[in-house]
Chains A and B, each alone.
Chain A
Amino acid sequence: MDGYVITVLSNIGMISFIALSAYLLLVTGEISFGQQAYFGLGAYAAGAATAMFGLPIWAGILIGVGAAALVAMVVGALTLRLGGLYFSISTLAFAEMVRLILLTAEVQVEVDGEMVGPDGANGFHDIRWMFERDISLAEFMLIIYCLLALVLIVLALVERSRLGSVFRMLGSDDLLAEMQGINTVRYRILAAGMAGGIAGIGGSLYAHFTTYVEPQFFNVMLGVHALAYGLIGGLGTAFGPLIGVAIDIGFLEAVRFIQGYRMIVFGGLVAVLLIFMPRGILDEDRVHRLKGWFSRRRHAGTRGN
């Protein structure tokens, strides 16, 4: 594989985290325009851990995830009573706040005679953990996909468990869930924390993959795309948003020749899809039918043997 393909695939992998993050909140019925903030927080926190304090990357990722999840839970608690549009606007405002803070934050320490750390609008340079250890892009891509697989397994277990049903209950009828004995406040905060943490993983990896992060990358377009992935790919399963990412980055990279019209094509694609499939390609109903089909096939198979 050449570097270009590896870069595109790695980008698909890293963006998948923020797509899954937005998806999780979409399942609970909340449209967040601010998941890019947790991606950014994860990137800065993990970058700081390895570049400034010399911690190994695993610690860096854990710190990135922890910081993102913690902040997300606080924001989740503060926005609990906000519904619909008000929730969306406040998440957007919060994300912009984070971006502006990162734009002005200058916190640097001296490492090996060089100043390292967030440098305001100049971004955060020299997150060189991967290069110092001679880890190739292909190997790093493997790390990305291993972590992505891990997150997908966890999400599949969640989906299979009562928690998955509770998240869908929050999404379809909050008050009804409350009246079934569900402490909706607790689960909303939990969902916010999980979503923040997942975005944080993506950010942590991104910082180390590119060695350089700047606040401008975590602008609102990233958050809007993250939402679009779930809406395109479908809210019935965690694989939905991954399809959305693959369609956006994969397909649009493949048709690079249309260059300047890329976003127009993407926007049109989203609009058309949502008209015909309001809850995405893999919506709950299709996922349910697919599951039924697979289990019938399995039963037919055992009978055949």
Chain B
Amino acid sequence: MLELQGLTKHFGGVKALNELDLTVEEGGIIGLIGPNGSGKSTAINLICGVYGETAGTVHFRGVLMNGKPPHQRLRAGIARTFQNIRLFPELTVWQNLWVAQNSPQDISRQRFLPRWFGTTRQARKEIADLLELADLAHKGDELASNLAFGEQRRLEFARAAAARPLLLLLDEPAAGMSRQEIDDLGQRIRRLRDSGVTILLVEHMMELVMGVTEQIAVLNFGHRIAFGTPGEVQSDRAVQEAYLGTDATESGPAGGSA
């Protein structure tokens, strides 16, 4: 579904991402992990078109995405969330979801005026369902800026779903969450996958990554150093060194990674 080939990004002299090859199959949950500065966020930003790549290609469902602006990539089916919550604080919770309904289905099946004035019954019902799912049903008329932190996270997640993505890029969705909220998030992610969305999860919280993903790619210094199932990745020597550092004497087991 998503195919990255030789994807490279340099910022001046800094090589943020080096020839990343990654194939994401439809219907799965893929983890993308690595220490800080290893290029995870750069990869996400390249996939959704925030940056232009230095070299390499991004194919989505067989279509070359290079050079396409983010709004076209969203309409093609790539949505994302952000490491730091990004909502539209001056808009209400309801409006935040409403303006995200920009999938080709949403645009083509609604007439101009109902779409522009938000009166399409089907679209309103979908927003109501998303609010329900995000436990925000009674908060629809609040300004997004007045929500609590956890509510804002849930709204961001719901907004990503409102775009009807085929591929959802989650950029550290668990940051700042409590244990309970992380368990909750894991369930939301699985439920979304079960509804047919492919998920690429960038995350530091290893319990979440190991718990929900089926395959994991590990980046370090802009290079992919490992790819495999959670179990394989955990026992990979290069991964252990990336996270724990190389033992000066090269002796002793580097167990208990992550």
Contact = CB atoms under 8 A, between A and B. Distances in A.
B99 A166 contact: yes
Contact of B102 (A171, A180, A285): A180
Contact of B86 (A161, A162, A176, A181): A176
A295 B80 CA distance: 35
A158 to B, nearest CB: 10
B71 A183 contact: yes
A165 B91 contact: yes
Q: Chain A interface secondary structure, helix, strand, loop or mixed?
A: helix
Nearest to B69: A178
B115 A173 contact: no
Given A180-B102, A182-B71, A173 B117 contact: no
A284 interface: yes
Interface residues of A, number: 26
Contacts of A166: 99
Interface in B47-85: 48, 50, 69-71, 74-75, 79-80, 82
B48 A179 contact: yes
B116 A176 contact: no
A181 B89 contact: no
Contacts of B91: 165, 168-169
B157 to A, nearest CB: 14
A179 B69 CA distance: 9
A180 B90 contact: no
B160 to A, nearest CB: 10
Nearest to A185: B69
Contact of B92 (A161, A172, A180, A288): A288
Contacts of A176: 82, 86, 88
A165 B100 contact: no
Contact of A182 (B48, B99, B117, B143): B99
A169 B143 contact: no
Most buried by B among A165, A182, A292: A165
Nearest to A179: B70
B90 A181 contact: no
B50 A180 contact: no
B71 A173 contact: no
B100 A180 contact: yes
A176 B100 CA distance: 10
Interface of A: 160-163, 165-166, 168-169, 171-173, 175-185, 284-285, 288, 292
